[in-house]
Structure formats: structure tokens, C-alpha cells
């Protein structure tokens, strides 16, 4: 398997920033908290449906508790010369759906300070590779439609990928290509990738505290 616990891939953003991609580790807990603090209130709301100033211990546990098979996360960290600086810049993750094992919810969060520099594309292409290695053939993603980048995304995708509305979110299911490296401009996934780092926050509903609260029995 190419993307496993030993996975490490170098990349470079459009402004020349060097980054390294690797799988999330339990030791990334503090870095995850620090990265969350750097998100703008708007990004926090779009990711978690609340401008909460901090992560709860339960939410942090759910985010860090990956098994690299059904729940996998890839982090991007800034490089300082030949060594990682320890500064996280973004994270992409998928969670396989128990009721549809060939489908996974997928999401990306990129720090506001490095949006529109190609990091979202790097993360999502790696996530596609990891998913296909594990038998996943489709990504399901939930997008809020009330910000400008999302509106452009939805307009671009709608003729090519059918969507439905669920709990006020636009829900897309996008088939994964045979190889992420050969995604073509005509593919819906390619169109989706173009917007991944532009403030379009893709949401994993199962990790959203606000959405889970709505499902609790009264």
C-alpha cells in the first residue's frame, strides 16, 4: 500500500512554500488544537456549524482517532529547509460509510492564510489515492451554499454531478478516477478540486457537533 503509516510526500504551493504530506498521528493532538485556533470564525462556523472558540475533548478525540482504513486523515505541514517545521497548514480526511462501504464522506480544511495556493488540490489528490487503495470508489461531500466560492463550485458542478439537499446542505457524490494523477479537466472531481482551497469548506456530517445534536432523541 502506497499511503500507509510511513507515507511522506513533498509538495510545493503556488507561492513556493514547501510542504510535506503525511498521515495524521495521535501525537498531532496539540498541533490540531493550534491549527483550529488559527481558523477564522467564519471558517470555524462553516466547518462545525458554530463559531465555537475551542474544540471540545470529545470532538478532539473523534478527530484524532483514525484507524487509517475506515477513517483516514492526511495532514500538510510547512517545511523548514529539509525538516518539517511542525506547523500544520491543512488536513484532508475521509470516513467510510458503514451502510455503503465503497463510499466515504470526505472533507478538507485549509488554514485561511494559505487558501488559494493549491494546498487543497494537493491534499485531495492524496486523499483520492488513499481511498482507492482501500476500496472506496466514491466521495460524498456536504457543502454549504451560502458563500461565494461555494456558489461558483455548485454552478460549475451541477451540470456534471447530481446533488440533493440534506439538512440545508448540498450533497454531492463524486466517482473517484482510476488514478488521481490523471484526473482530466472534464471530470467532476477535477472541477471540485479547483475550488478545494478557495474557502469552500467540505463537511463530514458525522463529525459535526451541531448536526449530531439534532439527531439526539428527546
In this predicted model, what pLDDT tens digit does every residue of 144-190 receive, in sequence order? 766 566 666 666 666 666 778 887 777 878 888 776 555 555 666 66
Domain ranges of the chain: 8-207
Q: How confident is the model at residue 79 (pLDDT cuts 50, 70, 90)?
A: very high
Superfamily covering domain 8-207: Gcn5-related N-acetyltransferase (GNAT) (3.40.630.30)
Longest dimension (CA), the chain: 54
For position 217, what pLDDT does the model report? 37
Mean pLDDT of 3-13: 94
Alpha carbon distance 176, 192 (integer Å): 12
pLDDT for 140 beyond 60: yes
Alpha carbon distance 159, 148 (integer Å): 18
For position 122, what pLDDT does the model report? 86
Alpha carbon distance 179, 5 (integer Å): 20
Mean pLDDT of 109-135: 87
For position 107, what pLDDT does the model report? 81
Q: Whole-number mean pLDDT of the chain?
A: 78
Burial of 9 (0-12, 13-18, 19+ CB in 10 A): middle
* C-alpha distance across the termini of the chain, in Å: 45
Say what the pTM is.
0.80
Q: How confident is the model at residue 210 (pLDDT cuts 50, 70, 90)?
A: very low
32-36 contact pairs (CB < 8 A, 24+): 32/60, 32/63, 32/64, 32/88, 32/91, 33/60, 34/88, 35/88, 35/89, 35/91, 35/111
Amino acid at each position: 500500500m502506497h499511503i500507509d503509516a510511513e507515507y511522506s510526500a513533498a509538495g510545493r504551493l503556488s507561492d513556493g512554500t514547501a510542504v510535506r504530506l503525511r498521515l495524521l498521528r495521535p501525537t498531532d493532538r496539540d498541533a490540531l488544537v493550534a491549527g483550529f485556533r488559527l481558523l477564522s470564525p467564519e471558517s470555524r462556523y462553516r466547518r462545525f456549524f458554530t463559531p465555537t472558540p475551542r474544540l471540545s475533548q470529545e470532538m478532539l478525540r473523534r478527530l484524532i482517532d483514525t484507524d487509517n482504513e475506515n477513517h483516514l486523515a492526511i495532514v500538510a505541514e510547512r517545511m523548514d529547509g529539509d525538516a518539517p517545521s511542525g506547523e500544520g497548514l491543512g488536513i484532508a480526511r475521509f470516513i467510510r460509510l458503514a451502510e455503503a462501504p465503497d463510499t466515504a464522506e470526505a472533507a478538507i480544511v485549509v488554514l485561511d492564510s494559505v487558501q488559494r495556493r493549491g494546498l487543497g488540490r494537493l491534499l485531495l489528490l492524496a486523499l483520492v489515492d488513499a481511498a482507492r487503495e482501500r476500496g472506496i470508489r466514491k466521495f460524498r461531500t456536504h457543502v454549504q451554499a451560502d458563500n461565494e466560492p461555494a456558489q461558483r463550485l455548485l454552478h460549475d458542478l451541477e451540470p456534471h454531478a447530481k446533488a440533493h439537499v440534506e439538512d440545508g446542505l448540498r450533497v454531492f457524490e463524486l466517482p473517484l478516477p482510476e488514478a488521481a494523477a490523471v484526473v482530466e479537466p472534464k471530470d467532476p472531481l477535477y472541477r471540485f478540486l479547483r475550488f478545494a482551497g478557495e474557502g469552500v469548506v467540505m463537511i463530514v456530517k458525522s463529525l459535526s457537533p451541531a448536526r449530531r445534536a439534532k439527531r439526539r432523541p428527546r
